[in-house]
Amino acid sequence: MAIKDIFENYYRKLNKDIDMKSYKKYMENKISNISISPTDRLYLAREKNRPTSIDFLDNILEDKLIFKGDRIGGEDSSIISGIGRIKDLNISFVAIEKGKTFQEKVENNFGMVSPEGFRKAIRIFKEAEKFNRPVLTIIDTPGANPSPKSEENGQSQQIANSLLTMSSLKVPIISIIISEGYSGGALSLSLCDYLIMLENAIFSILSPEGFGSIIFRDSSKVEEAAKLLKFTAKDMKDFDICQEIIPEKIDPSYEYYKEIFSYLQKDVYEKFKDLQKFSSVELIEKRHERYMNWD
């Protein structure tokens, strides 16, 4: 039984008069014998009920204040940004939010950030540096907005500006890839000191469909593309791109995410405290060294 079938069967039985606890136990036995492929990871990263960035912000941060606007005249709802608190630590945050309902997804352009969104993120980064607050970014995007309007408004320039700003930021940066992370849309907000990935998240130059259409001239060759792209969290850890993987369960109810949120709150807090021990010069030197060593 494929991972996709497990989730679809669960949702079909969810509204029926059956013992879901017994059914979940039965499914756990089935899952224990399944080898999870890169294509399965892709399905899990895109799964419709998977928690989104707002869930992580609500559960990791104890308080938060949302900032809107790029201070030029634009606003991009796919970027949630502002300041928040974890215990005694004040931080700045930038998160890409796809949305949960179809209407939210349309309003947020399915998590495809526009130039206005990147300008808003850069505004937050610079403010964080001014007030000496560490920065947390949360990534969940199919890529930056590729529309002609975005290109006319300087999309590539804003992606470059975001990378440039993060590369020389004098405060610690932690990034978490929670689901999909493709292309410059993901990279431009994940140039950090410490990268965390959820086990079923992916980080890649482009989607398997896009890769297939370019290399094989066939966008349906997702399975072949997924194997070649090496985009899983384990792959990123092997390449020394990702520093930490958060284990996940194959559970359509996502009840175990309470444990993930609790762990991440503690983990992010401790990692920021460790990174704050370095001077701004040391932070930037280590950050540059890390990215210059990428093959």
- For residue 149, tell me if it sits in a domain: no
- For residue 288, tell me if it sits in a domain: yes
Give the domain range for residue 86: 40-143+159-292
- For residue 35, tell me if it sits in a domain: no
What are the pLDDT tens digits along the chain (295 aa)?
Answer: 578 887 887 787 776 666 666 666 666 666 666 788 999 999 999 999 999 999 999 999 999 999 998 888 889 999 999 999 999 999 999 999 999 999 999 999 999 999 999 999 999 999 999 999 999 999 999 999 999 999 999 999 999 999 999 999 999 999 999 999 999 999 999 999 999 999 999 999 999 999 999 999 988 899 999 999 999 999 999 999 999 999 998 888 898 999 999 999 999 999 999 999 999 999 999 999 988 877 6
Which residues pair with residue 232 across a beta bridge? Answer: 202
- For residue 85, tell me if it sits in a domain: yes
Residues 11, 252 contacting (CB under 8 angstroms): yes
CA–CA separation, 193 and 289 (whole Å) = 10
CA–CA separation, 92 and 82 (whole Å) = 6
Q: 112 vs 117, 186, 263, CA distance in Å?
A: 9, 10, 28
- For residue 203, tell me if it sits in a domain: yes
- For residue 151, tell me if it sits in a domain: no
- For residue 45, tell me if it sits in a domain: yes
Instruction: Copy the structure tokens of residue 258.
Output: 């309470």
Phi and psi angles of residue 12, each rounded to the nearest 5 degrees, phi first: -65, -35
CA–CA separation, 182 and 161 (whole Å) = 18
Residues 57, 80 contacting (CB under 8 angstroms): yes
Q: What's residue 260's pLDDT?
A: 97
Q: What pTM does this model have?
A: 0.93
Q: What's residue 253's pLDDT?
A: 84
Residues 206, 184 contacting (CB under 8 angstroms): no
Residue 203 maps to which CATH number?
3.90.226.10
Structural domain count, the chain: 1
What is the side-by-side strand order in the sheet with 79-86?
Answer: 63-67, 79-86, 89-96, 135-141, 173-181, 194-198, 244-246
- For residue 21, tell me if it sits in a domain: no
